Amino acid sequence: MIEYLTKVGPIIAGLLYLTTGIAYSVKGCPGWAIMWFSYALANVGIIIAASGE
């Protein structure tokens, strides 16, 4: 169960960060959008790092 949560948790968080970044882009706040897109990209890095274990 823990193994599943450690893989699914970053995916869910990354999708939420991506959604928030898109919302800020649509809202016209590029600085905030870049910040949230960066968080989403960081989660992609976590997923890639975890897959190498």
Name the residue with higher pLDDT: 23 or 47: 23
CA separation for the pair 15, 8 (Å, rounded): 11
What's the pLDDT at 2? Answer: 84
* pLDDT tens profile 1-34: 888 888 899 999 999 999 999 999 999 999 999 9
What's the pLDDT at 51? Answer: 82
Helices (H), ranges, 1-53: 2-27, 30-51
CB under 8 A, 24+ apart: contacts of 32-40 = 39/14, 40/14, 40/15
